[in-house]
Chains A and B, each alone.
Chain A
Amino acid sequence: MASGTTAKGIGKGFGQPGEVPAWVNNALLPVLNLVAALVVSSLVILAIGENPLAAMEVLLYGSFGYPEAIGFTLYYATNFIFTGLAVSVAFHCGLFNIGGEGQAYIGGLAIGLVGLTLGGMPWPVVAVVAIVAGALGGAAWAYVPAYLQAKRGSHIVITTIMFNFIAASIMTYLLVDVLIAPGQQSPESRQFDQSTWLPFMHQALAWVGIDIPNSPLNLSFVWALACCALVWVFVWHTRWGYEIRTVGQNERAAVYAGISPSRNIILAMAISGALAAFVGLNEVLGVHHRLILGFTGGVGFVGIAVALMGRNHPIGIVLAALLFGALYQGGSELAFEFPNINREMVVVIQGLVILFAGALENLFKARIEALFRRTARQPAAAG
């Protein structure tokens, strides 16, 4: 395992990792675990009376088969990059942030309020203000559980889950009673002024003469990639990132080194919440152009899987987010094509990926490592 890329307790096997090439741990094992998850998913598809191979084909074609599908896949992946990064930053500090859902919701609220109030302003201004406001909203929502963990020792897993529920209640109240568009029945705010909308990718690329089919993919995808770079620099090339990783690896050692665990817990969680909040940029400012109920739709939880599969590294997270984006987009085609399959099948595959890639990550590890050690020893013995 590359040093420092894992959170506390995650990815610490019992072999001697030094003897195995890095690509085995960072590529081969995740792929093997993914295959295992897909095999079990196939069994589920079989159990509900559909053909798994045909389903996988539809899944693949529906996610990458034609240009528009790729746009949709990347649009979903944008959300997962944000939440995956969010979970990973907390992981580096040894924290398990299950609150990405609530942080994305409240951050999205802040972004939505910016969209509602800055009508008429040009979109670049709105986007910058929205990024700042969203980050503050998400960070604020993560701050409370972080503070309680750091200062009062409350279990961060439980408090972040409770904050998801509380955020959902608050948003329901706001959208049903306060922000609802006048004369409107369904709980959503009025549409933002068109000048504030984040440009779609097909619009942005048309400016430079590139023609791609219409899809919800928008400029927040570019911001997601920028966030990957920012997180990479922050975690591995700044003093703050170093302190966060130290706390994550060994809190006691951090204390002896003069690093304050509580300060870093709060910092890591605030950044984590800010990253999760950018889901609102993609959904609210980029696609829906209004606040709607439940626009997060479980992306905070998918972020856990994305971070785990991506080994908490931005590049891995982009790849894993693509995988889950494909699952989402292909999954909706799946529900469309097969009478017995509905959208929740995607959640099943997600759960299995988390199970095999996260919890059962040691399943093949010992065997594969033993295999590599044996093959590495043989030439030496021969010579």
Chain B
Amino acid sequence: MDYLTLLSVLDGTVRTAAPLVLAALAGLFAERSGVVDIGLEGKMLAGAFAAAAAASVTGSPWLGLLAAIGAGILLSMVHAYATVTHHGNQVVSGMAINILVAGLTPTLAFAWFQQGGQTPILQAGERFESLALPLADMLGGAVPVLGPLYREVISGHNILVYAAALAVPAAAWVVYRSRFGLRLRAVGENPSAVDTAGISVAKLRYQALVICGALTGAAGAYLSTAQGAGFVRDMTAGMGYLALAALIFGKWRPAPTLFACLLFALADAVQIRLQGVAIPGIGIIPVQFIQMLPYVLTVLLLAGFVGKAVAPKASGIPYVKER
């Protein structure tokens, strides 16, 4: 593999990683507050639909992003209402959201746009375009090795990719340095202690889920208004679950989670490269086996290369105040 091919694989990695990172960070806030969120997949899908629908109607990707964030938060509030207010089972609630959205998005698209469950294809001004960072072309030609890396891999992405990149240190700061983050970690480990200290467990979990909804919405908007040009049914294709796996692999910490996302994205980028290529000694691997690479990788990683991953202690357990 020559250098330029490597760069294009890395470029593809960054593109695929961006929505994974946003969704995984969303899961991080939810799980750190003690709420398991299998519904990431559904919220992303809702975000993708809302963004494409709003962008198509209004002509602005920014309004699309706003709609996506709104949709994500709305579904998060449903999750919070079921699991925090009514102490419902968190996995069931998340699955309900996934199934509901999987049905609702094509239903609404079918009724609103009459295009067989898709949104209209977004035109140039209705999408997030890629941005060339300053001096990308000049440095790319003039500086060896690092120049092309800058031009191909770092420059030339849309704003949401850079937002995802910034979200990682921001999330780390919030979780480890802010007062909210301290309480967030505490409520995920020992809610009754937080309650005893006079802080509302329910309020903190609602807040965490608002952040979670906003991030998943943005991740969905990326899929339909930046990476793609419009909504197609089931366009998340398991990405929400991969994000959850990345979160576990990253041990519920922002930086390792980022690397887990990059690893999954790399597997995906390599997977696309490998299609139809004859590998010495093996020959051409059927495309379906290559496509399952990220899923197999997830199973393998969760099966034993994670080390001891300890989830936030209260994660998955509804908090019921003693009376």
Seen from chain A, the residues whose Cβ lies within 8 Å of a Cβ on chain B are 9-10, 13-14, 44, 47-49, 96, 98, 144, 148, 152, 154-155, 157-159, 161-163, 165-166, 169-170, 172-173, 176-177, 301, 304-305, 308, 340-342, 344-352, 354-355, 358-363
| B308, closest chain A residue (CB) | A153
Chain A positions within 8 Å of B296 at CB level: 162, 166
Interface residues of B in 60-114 (CB under 8 A from A): 78, 81-83, 86-93, 95-104, 106-108, 110-112
Chain A positions within 8 Å of B1 at CB level: none
Chain A positions within 8 Å of B83 at CB level: 359
Interface residues of B in 184-234 (CB under 8 A from A): 233
Question: Which one of B90, B95, B317 contacts A301 once the chains associate, using CB atoms below 8 Å?
Answer: B95
Q: How far is the CA of A98 from the CA of B36 in the complex (A)?
A: 15
Min CB gap A59→B, angstroms: 15
The 4 nearest A-B residue pairs measured at CB: A347-B103, A351-B100, A359-B93, A48-B111
The answer on a CB contact under 8 Å between B241 and A342 is no
The answer on a CB contact under 8 Å between B299 and A176 is no
Q: How far is the CA of A173 from the CA of B97 in the complex (A)?
A: 30
Min CB gap B255→A, angstroms: 21
Question: Which one of B89, B107, B291, B303 contacts A148 once the chains associate, using CB atoms below 8 Å?
Answer: B303
| A363, closest chain B residue (CB) | B86
The answer on a CB contact under 8 Å between B298 and A162 is yes
Min CB gap B276→A, angstroms: 14
Return 12 A-B CB contacts under 8 Å, by A number.
Answer: A44-B104, A48-B107, A155-B302, A162-B245, A163-B299, A165-B238, A344-B104, A345-B103, A348-B104, A351-B103, A355-B100, A358-B88
Chain A positions within 8 Å of B150 at CB level: none
Tell me if B's interface is mostly helix, strand, loop or mixed.
helix
The answer on a CB contact under 8 Å between B97 and A355 is yes
Min CB gap B289→A, angstroms: 7
Question: Which one of B89, B106, B112, B302 contacts A9 once the chains associate, using CB atoms below 8 Å?
Answer: B89
Given A152-B304, A158-B245, A162-B295, A344–B89 Cβ distance below 8 Å? no
Question: Which one of A177, A308, A342 contacts B107 once the chains associate, using CB atoms below 8 Å?
Answer: A342
Q: How far is the CA of A301 from the CA of B92 in the complex (A)?
A: 11
Q: How far is the CA of A158 from the CA of B296 in the complex (A)?
A: 12
| A355, closest chain B residue (CB) | B96
Min CB gap A107→B, angstroms: 19
B contact residues, total (Cβ < 8 Å): 52
The answer on a CB contact under 8 Å between B298 and A158 is yes
| B42, closest chain A residue (CB) | A351
The answer on a CB contact under 8 Å between A358 and B96 is yes
Chain B positions within 8 Å of A361 at CB level: 88
Chain B positions within 8 Å of A98 at CB level: 95
The answer on a CB contact under 8 Å between A348 and B245 is no
The answer on a CB contact under 8 Å between B103 and A358 is no
Chain A positions within 8 Å of B320 at CB level: 14
Chain A positions within 8 Å of B286 at CB level: 173, 177
Min CB gap A302→B, angstroms: 9
Min CB gap A352→B, angstroms: 6
The answer on a CB contact under 8 Å between B289 and A169 is yes
The answer on a CB contact under 8 Å between A344 and B91 is no
The answer on a CB contact under 8 Å between A154 and B303 is yes
Chain B positions within 8 Å of A96 at CB level: 91
The answer on a CB contact under 8 Å between B241 and A162 is yes
Min CB gap A39→B, angstroms: 15
Q: How far is the CA of A172 from the CA of B292 in the complex (A)?
A: 11
The answer on a CB contact under 8 Å between A169 and B100 is no
Q: How far is the CA of A162 from the CA of B88 in the complex (A)?
A: 25
The answer on a CB contact under 8 Å between A348 and B103 is yes
| B240, closest chain A residue (CB) | A161
Most B CB within 10 A of own CB, among A44, A173, A341, A360: A360
Q: How far is the CA of A347 from the CA of B110 in the complex (A)?
A: 14
Q: How far is the CA of A304 from the CA of B98 in the complex (A)?
A: 13
Min CB gap A201→B, angstroms: 30
B26-58 interface bits toward A, Cβ cutoff 8 Å, 1 = contact, 0 = none: 000000000000100000000000000000000
Chain B positions within 8 Å of A342 at CB level: 106-107, 110, 117
The answer on a CB contact under 8 Å between A344 and B106 is yes
Q: How far is the CA of A44 from the CA of B106 in the complex (A)?
A: 13
Interface residues of B in 247-304 (CB under 8 A from A): 248, 286, 288-289, 291-292, 295-296, 298-299, 302-304
20 A-B pairs besides A170-B288, A344-B103, A354-B99 with CB distance below 8 A are A9-B318, A13-B87, A14-B87, A49-B111, A154-B304, A157-B91, A158-B241, A162-B296, A162-B299, A163-B299, A166-B295, A176-B288, A344-B102, A344-B107, A347-B102, A348-B104, A351-B96, A352-B96, A355-B82, A358-B89
Min CB gap B102→A, angstroms: 6
The answer on a CB contact under 8 Å between B104 and A358 is no
| A96, closest chain B residue (CB) | B91
Min CB gap A73→B, angstroms: 19
| B92, closest chain A residue (CB) | A358
Cβ of B244 under 8 Å from chain A? yes
Chain B positions within 8 Å of A47 at CB level: 108
Chain B positions within 8 Å of A176 at CB level: 288
The answer on a CB contact under 8 Å between A362 and B87 is yes
Chain B positions within 8 Å of A349 at CB level: 103
B300-318 interface bits toward A, Cβ cutoff 8 Å, 1 = contact, 0 = none: 0011100000000000111
Q: How far is the CA of A347 from the CA of B42 in the complex (A)?
A: 13
Chain B positions within 8 Å of A355 at CB level: 78, 82, 93, 96-97, 100
| A167, closest chain B residue (CB) | B292
The answer on a CB contact under 8 Å between B95 and A304 is yes
Q: How far is the CA of A340 from the CA of B110 in the complex (A)?
A: 7
The answer on a CB contact under 8 Å between B86 and A360 is yes
Min CB gap B241→A, angstroms: 5
Min CB gap A16→B, angstroms: 11
Min CB gap A126→B, angstroms: 29
Chain A positions within 8 Å of B90 at CB level: 359
Q: How far is the CA of A150 from the CA of B23 in the complex (A)?
A: 28
Chain B positions within 8 Å of A345 at CB level: 103, 107
Chain B positions within 8 Å of A49 at CB level: 111
Min CB gap B75→A, angstroms: 11
Min CB gap B245→A, angstroms: 5
